[in-house]
Every structure is written in structure tokens, then in C-alpha cells.
């Protein structure tokens, strides 16, 4: 089998590309069902967050999907021409795939190193795949390995201290741009997990005048009550923006909440007072050209990277410790992954050895020997020889597995199978045996 990852993230692709391939839970479930219908024996998990879209696959090397198949699926599913995002894609296979998932789940590949949200997102993506029945033995084990490694990295290092979330970095940016954030009026758009996290960070930073506006007023009011802040009506969002100094948006939408033309009217009502907009939603809540309006300062999630890089440098030692933990677990998983292939490979090797013996018998029994009475005895003898040789090979394979690990043993058997395949496919030269 092979394990593949095809994806893009905040390091490989701009937000303009990521938001076109992003998908919510319902879309992910539909995508997984389509993949499973197309590749019945393969396994799939689809991860989609504000910073990445990644498709994980495990399948037969010959019959399962390859990286081109997965890339084309993403293109077809989202109705986005492949040529528009192909150059932003990365592809990992086998050991690199395992290392990548463990690094992602441990938040070491995140824009904000140490953030806790990613493991929840990975778990949710895996849960969706289980519900869609698109996982199997390999990805089940791999994702549970990722969950365990993430927990170990976060509990044995200090990587999760301080502001370690996109929400935290957004608030940190606001604090850098406003000398006294406690005196500002902040509007938080969206009361989901990210919106609630924003509220907590704002309160921790000393901001007291906060209004949360959510499409579901009941959800927004629940969050507001929990933290002692205000809740606003969704229909009155423009009026809330007129009063705000800072707006941080994380609402789940498929299109912009505000475009330049409508937002200019809001700024006119504000009498051109300065407004800071921080848009951490993917897809984005604000049309990028809004930044062209005078006295508006719009930052997208990608523009938080400078603050996030400062965060990363402060955690370099913890990152190194985390990567060591990941490396050890990658080796352990790959040993299991390779060893599970030894049994089928041994079966293939036996089949190829048997084919070679049959080819040689056919070469021998030609011409006058074609109907020789000792043919049956010769066939029995050849079978015994093959079994004894096979026993010698397996004994050596087991010794290598004990001394150097299952991965090396699997490599050896795979090499023998490939060589045997070449020998067994050679054309029979009956004329060489004729007398």
C-alpha cells in the first residue's frame, strides 16, 4: 500500500487560492463519499481549515489513486481549474506523509506554532471520515497515532504557552496598532469556536467594550452572557461597524459580507474615523479592495504572519523537541506499515518463484520430452525445491526484520519480488531446449 497527501497551506498558497478550495463539514462529507465510490478499496480523510486543505489517502500502489487523481478530484469537486492551483500543491508519500500529518496535528506546521485549535480540527475531519466510512486500517492507525503524538508534544514541551492561536495573534496585532486597547470598542463577527476564542483574548488584553454579532442571535447572546459582553443583531451589523474602533471577523460564509461599495457608505457614516479590520475568516468576510478606502486598515489572516513569525522564533527550542518526538513516532509507524506488507509480499514472492519453476518445466518438456512419463515426478520435485528455497529466503527476511526492523525486511522482499517478476516475465525459449 501507499499513503499519499495532496494539499496546500498558508506557506504554499495565498488566501485567494485557499478560500476557493476550502469546504465546510457537509461538503467534506460529500467529497469523501464521492472518493470512496470512485476508489472502493482506498481510504480517505479530508482536512480543511483557514490555513490548509489536505487530502489524505491510503490505497493499493497499482490500483489506488495517485497524486494526479487526487489533485484532479479537488479541481473537479470545487470547479476550480487545476492549472490555477497546481503550482501551489505539495505532494507527500509514505514516510513523508506520516511525518507531515504528525507535524500538522502537533501544531508545528501551523501559522501560530503551539495553537490548540488544529488538533480539534484534525479530530473533527477524522470523525467525518469515519461517519462517511471512508477510512480503514491504515488511516485509522495513522490518525490515532497523530492524536497521541500531539498530546505528547503539548504535554512535554512549553510550546502551548502564551498567545498561541490565530485569534491570539489577531488581538496581539490590534494591541500593536492601538496604544490603549482597553479604551477601544471592538466588534467580533462570528460566535463560533474562533469567535469565542477572540473574546477571551480580548478580555485578557484588558478590552471591556466588546460586542459579538452572530448570524444566530441566540448563539451570540449565549457567548455574550457567558463573558459579560454585549450581543448585537445580525441585521444591525452595519450600525455596529459604524460605532467600532476594531472589527475582527471569523464568520463562516461562502461570499463576502461586505464589498467596497457598501463599506464606503459605512465609512461615510463614521465621518472617516480610523477603523481597523482584521479578517481571519476563510473564505474571507471582507472584500480585499475595502483596504483602498481612506482610513480603513484591513488585514487578512495571511498578513498576521509577521506577528506569528515572532511567536515561532520564541519557541524554536520547543519546536526542536517536538520534531524529535515526531521523528521517533514516524519510525515506529512506518515499521508497522512496512511489516503489514511483508505477508502479501511473501505471497507474491512464492507466486513468482512458482511461475519461474513452471516456465523452466515448460522449456524442458518440449519436442520428444513433451509426453515423458516422468513429468509428474519432475513437477513434484520442482515444487519441493521452490518451497525449500523459499524457506531459506523467509528465514533470512525474519533475521533482517529482527536486526534492522520490518521496514528493511519489507524492502528486501519487495526487491526480490521485482527481480522475480522480471525473470518470470521473460519469454520462453523452447527452441533452446529442443534436441
pLDDT in tens, 385-400: 888 888 888 788 878 8
Is residue 271 pLDDT above 50, yes or no? yes
Class of domain 2-159: alpha beta
Asked if 93 and 55 count as a contact pair (C-beta separation under 8 A), the reply is no
Q: Quick check: is 50 catalytic?
A: yes
What local confidence, expressed as pLDDT, does residue 263 receive?
A: 95
100 Cβ neighbours under 8 A, 6+ residues apart: 5, 92, 109
What local confidence, expressed as pLDDT, does residue 432 receive?
A: 47
Averaged pLDDT for residues 402-409: 77
Whole-angstrom distance, CA of residue 319 vs CA of residue 313: 9
Q: Which residue in the list 23, 50, 130, 392 is annotated as catalytic? A: 50
Class of domain 166-304: alpha beta
Cis peptide before 283 (omega within 30 of 0): yes
Q: What is the pLDDT of residues 328-340, one digit of tens each?
A: 999 889 878 876 7
Residue 37, judged by CB atoms within 10 A of its CB (0-12, 13-18, 19+), counts as exposed
Q: What is the pLDDT of residues 363-381, one digit of tens each?
A: 888 877 877 888 888 888 8
More confident residue, 254 or 344: 254
Looking at every residue in the chain, the average pLDDT score rounds to 89
What local confidence, expressed as pLDDT, does residue 278 receive?
A: 94
Whole-angstrom distance, CA of residue 108 vs CA of residue 222: 33
**pLDDT above 70: percentage of residues in the chain:** 96
Q: Return the top range by mean pLDDT from 118-127, 165-174, 246-255.
A: 118-127
What local confidence, expressed as pLDDT, does residue 162 receive?
A: 62
What local confidence, expressed as pLDDT, does residue 363 receive?
A: 84
What local confidence, expressed as pLDDT, does residue 434 receive?
A: 47
107 Cβ neighbours under 8 A, 6+ residues apart: 113, 114, 115, 116, 118, 119, 150, 153, 154, 159, 160, 164
Q: What is the pLDDT of residues 183-208, one digit of tens each?
A: 999 999 999 989 999 999 999 999 98
Whole-angstrom distance, CA of residue 393 vs CA of residue 51: 49
Amino acid at each position: 500500500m501507499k499513503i499519499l497527501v495532496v494539499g496546500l497551506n498558508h506557506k504554499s498558497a495565498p488566501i485567494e487560492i485557499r478560500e476557493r478550495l476550502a469546504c465546510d463539514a457537509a461538503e467534506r462529507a460529500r467529497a469523501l463519499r464521492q472518493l470512496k465510490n470512485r476508489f472502493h478499496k482506498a481510504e480517505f480523510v479530508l482536512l480543511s481549515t483557514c490555513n490548509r486543505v489536505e487530502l489524505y489517502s491510503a490505497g493499493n500502489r497499482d490500483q489506488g489513486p495517485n497524486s494526479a487523481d487526487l489533485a484532479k478530484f479537488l479541481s473537479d469537486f470545487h470547479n476550480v481549474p487545476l492549472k490555477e492551483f497546481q503550482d501551489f500543491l505539495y505532494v507527500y508519500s509514505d514516510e513523508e506523509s506520516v511525518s507531515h500529518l504528525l507535524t500538522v496535528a502537533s501544531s508545528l506546521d501551523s501559522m501560530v506554532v503551539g495553537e490548540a485549535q488544529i488538533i480539534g480540527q484534525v479530530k473533527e475531519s477524522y470523525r467525518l471520515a469515519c461517519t462517511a466510512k471512508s477510512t480503514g486500517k491504515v488511516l485509522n492507525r495513522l490518525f490515532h497515532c497523530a492524536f497521541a503524538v500531539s498530546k505528547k508534544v503539548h504535554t512535554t514541551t512549553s510550546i502551548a504557552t502564551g498567545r498561541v492561536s490565530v485569534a491570539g495573534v489577531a488581538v496581539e496585532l490590534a494591541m500593536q496598532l492601538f496604544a490603549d486597547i482597553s479604551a477601544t470598542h471592538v466588534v467580533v463577527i462570528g460566535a463560533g469556536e474562533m469567535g469565542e476564542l477572540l473574546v477571551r483574548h480580548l478580555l485578557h488584553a484588558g478590552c471591556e467594550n466588546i460586542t459579538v454579532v452572530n448570524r444566530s442571535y441566540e448563539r451570540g447572546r449565549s457567548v455574550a452572557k457567558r463573558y459579560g459582553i454585549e450581543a448585537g443583531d445580525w441585521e444591525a451589523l452595519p450600525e455596529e461597524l459604524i460605532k467600532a474602533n476594531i472589527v475582527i471577523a471569523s464568520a463562516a460564509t461562502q461570499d463576502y459580507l461586505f464589498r467596497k461599495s457598501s463599506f464606503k457608505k459605512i465609512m461615510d457614516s463614521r465621518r472617516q474615523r480610523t477603523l481597523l479590520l482584521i479578517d481571519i475568516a476563510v473564505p474571507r468576510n471582507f472584500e480585499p479592495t475595502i483596504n483602498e478606502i481612506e482610513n480603513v486598515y484591513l488585514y487578512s489572516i495571511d498578513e498576521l504572519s509577521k506577528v506569528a513569525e515572532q511567536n515561532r522564533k520564541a519557541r524554536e527550542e520547543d519546536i526542536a523537541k517536538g520534531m524529535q518526538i515526531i521523528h521517533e513516532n514516524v519510525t515506529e509507524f512506518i515499521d508497522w506499515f512496512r511489516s503489514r506488507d511483508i505477508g502479501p509480499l511473501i505471497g507474491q514472492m512464492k507466486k513468482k518463484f512458482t511461475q519461474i519453476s513452471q516456465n523452466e518445466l515448460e522449456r524442458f518438456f518440449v519436442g520428444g520430452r513433451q509426453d515423458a512419463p516422468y513429468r509428474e515426478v519432475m513437477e513434484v520435485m520442482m515444487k519441493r525445491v521452490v518451497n525449500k528455497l523459499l524457506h531459506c529466503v523467509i528465514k533470512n527476511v525474519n533475521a533482517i526484520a529482527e536486526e534492522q526492523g520490518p521496514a528493511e525486511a519489507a524492502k528486501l522482499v519487495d526487491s526480490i519480488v521485482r527481480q522475480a517478476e522480471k525473470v518470470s516475465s521473460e519469454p520462453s525459449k523452447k527452441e533452446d531446449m529442443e534436441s
